[in-house]
Amino acid sequence: MIVSEVQSLHAGYIRLTERFKALWTFHQFLKGVHKNFLGAAPTYDVDFNAVYEQLRRISSQISSGVVPNQVRDNMDRIETDLALVSRKLRLSDKAVSPSLVRRFFQKLRTEDDKIVYNLLRFYFSQPELDEDLADKIDFLATLAATHPGGEGLVPRSRSEAIKIFDAVVSHCSWPATGNDEVNALVAAMDELAEDVSRARSFEALTSEKLVENIRTIKRRLGFALANSHVLASVAICNVKTKEVFRKRLEEERTRIRDAGERIASLEQEFARTGRKDLPDEFRKFRDNHDEFQRLTEESNLRSGHVLAVMHSISEVLGKFDLGEIALEEIDDALEIPDASPEDDVEQPDGLKHAIQKILAAVEMSDGGFKEIANLGLEPWELRSAKATIAHGGRPASERDELLLEGAALRSKSEEEAARWVQNKRMGTPVGPLRSDVEETLALAGATDHRFAALIRDAGDDSLPEEMTSLVRSRFRLLRAYSSLWLLHDAEKR
């Protein structure tokens, strides 16, 4: 045989061996999916050993100088056999959803890029393209475009990604995409990737439909997926989106966890009332939260699922938790007067006495439960009381002073409300108590405005725990204030 014929036959043989490797890898992949998720072995029957022996004979024939036409006939027969194997594997693959592909690779946790490359070669060798196959290519291309060691957050360079995808699409028979369309698609994907990278909150990702815009354009790609430049842009955009989504999701996961704990407390409050059936809002939250957890574990979480659980949280807390009532609504409803510089005067004796009562209980008990249990102090309020004692009875900071005054006025409001109710029950006039109540209401209103100002000034610079402590103390004060205000207001009518 002349040299050119040998080279041509050798190139054909290399192409056959690469296709065989892709089919063998895909066969192993299907076995793994069935074993781990479907509970049974694939039903097709393929003798890979026989095909492998045929390939070995072809190699020997090329090396020994067998007549080229005979070698080509043998290669054509192997080509036909491989096409039949590919069809069997593809029929079995249609029972495997894209989410199972994602779950398999999450479980596999391998750094062997050749597995991903061979699966992509298999998919690009298929004569037809459907939505499921496009989703699987999209996921695998994202893995291929992820830089090793970057925890799934760093994309490869564009040139490196194009080189990889040039190899995996080299024998794809899909219709070619024109240069103008390729350039337009690449520019669109790159612009979307930059839009997502600038998002600083999960709300921005969803409200501006950034992720949805990416999905929309990907659904319209069709055969353009087989262009290495388009595929590289899509995959790099996916990696960048994955990075931003993961960061923003982690922030939301913290909020969802905190809200879940609050909702669990509300459920316990309902249980203590003897009510067996919780309101529908709680059931919807549990359903959405369970779905959120399940999809998170399966690495199949979408923005819609996050929005669903956030919406159900808003429904529960907005209806059943005082902490979700708008601050302005509370101020208007209770007619809390605006604070002014003239309100900043020396503490009245009643407030001083309430504060000293807290400090004395904390100092005497050193934080023990028995002496301070009735005061109902939050952990941060207890710390503020201890810090004040350590500074000779003077608050160590404005925050400590506010927390201590809030706790004292809350306790004072609750005591006066209890006395008011007792007087009414026993038929005793409440007149002598009225002046104390009116003073407490005025002080609580001013303190509430100080809480609001401190919360507003803290803004995004404060730690979530610090903001939560201020908001919770404020609303506990408002709850006690509102109860006392309602008793006082009813007496005037």
Q: Does residue 456 share a domain with residue 340?
A: yes
**Residue 193 covered by a domain:** no
Q: Does residue 479 share a domain with residue 346?
A: yes
**Residue 367 covered by a domain:** yes
How far does CA 466 lie from the centroid of its chain?
23
Domain boundary among 324, 348, 376: 324
pLDDT at 339: 46
pLDDT at 184: 95
Domain boundary among 96, 112, 133: 96
Specify whether the CB–CB gap between 137 and 98 falls below 8 A: no
Q: Does residue 262 share a domain with residue 337?
A: no
Bridge partners for 155 per DSSP: 146
How many other C-beta atoms are found inside a 10 Å radius of the C-beta of residue 273? 6
**Residue 353 covered by a domain:** yes
Specify whether the CB–CB gap between 145 and 232 falls below 8 A: yes
Q: Does residue 438 share a domain with residue 359?
A: yes
pLDDT averaged over 10-residue windows placed end to end, the chain, 493 residues: 78 93 96 88 91 92 83 92 96 92 84 90 95 96 86 85 96 95 95 89 74 90 96 95 85 83 80 71 88 80 79 74 45 46 59 87 60 70 86 85 92 90 83 87 89 75 70 88 84 65
pLDDT at 343: 43
Q: Does residue 339 share a domain with residue 443?
A: yes
DSSP state of 178: P
Q: Does residue 57 share a domain with residue 30?
A: yes
Distance CA 417, CA 439 (A): 13
pLDDT at 263: 85
pLDDT at 20: 96
pLDDT at 250: 82
Residue found under tokens 């201020």: 470
Specify whether the CB–CB gap between 416 and 437 falls below 8 A: yes
Q: Does residue 466 share a domain with residue 354?
A: yes
**Residue 91 covered by a domain:** yes
Q: Does residue 358 share a domain with residue 382?
A: yes
| 138-173 pLDDT, tens digit each | 999 999 999 886 565 789 999 999 999 999 999 999
Specify whether the CB–CB gap between 125 and 171 falls below 8 A: yes
Distance CA 110, CA 243 (A): 20
Local structure of 269: helix, strand or coil = helix
pLDDT at 319: 64
Distance CA 103, CA 17 (A): 29
Distance CA 401, CA 384 (A): 8
Burial of 465 by CB count in 10 Å (0-12 exposed, 13-18 middle, 19+ buried)?
exposed
- What the block records as the tokens of 269 is 């409050």
One-letter amino acid at 363 equals: E
Phi/psi at 314 (nearest 5 deg)?
-60, -40
Domain boundary among 33, 65, 96: 96
**Residue 9 covered by a domain:** yes
Burial of 286 by CB count in 10 Å (0-12 exposed, 13-18 middle, 19+ buried)?
middle
> Domain range spanning residue 31?
1-96
Q: Does residue 337 share a domain with residue 430?
A: yes
Specify whether the CB–CB gap between 432 and 416 falls below 8 A: no
Query: Taking the C-alpha atoms of 335, 340, 346 and 347 in order, what is their torsion angle to the nearest 10 degrees?
Result: 20
Local structure of 264: helix, strand or coil = helix
**Dihedral (CA of 90, 96, 99, 104) sign:** negative
Q: Does residue 277 share a domain with residue 339?
A: no
Specify whether the CB–CB gap between 414 and 357 falls below 8 A: no
Question: Count of domains in the chain?
Answer: 3
**Residue 274 covered by a domain:** yes
Q: Does residue 359 share a domain with residue 259?
A: no
Distance CA 333, CA 466 (A): 27
Local structure of 155: helix, strand or coil = strand
pLDDT at 348: 77
pLDDT at 62: 86
**Residue 154 covered by a domain:** no
Q: Does residue 390 share a domain with residue 277?
A: no
CB under 8 Å to 30, separation ≥6 — which residues?
42, 89, 92, 93, 96
- What the block records as the tokens of 476 is 């506990």
Local structure of 316: helix, strand or coil = helix
**Residue 42 covered by a domain:** yes
Distance CA 70, CA 62 (A): 10
Structural Rg of the chain based on CA atoms: 35
Specify whether the CB–CB gap between 359 and 325 falls below 8 A: no
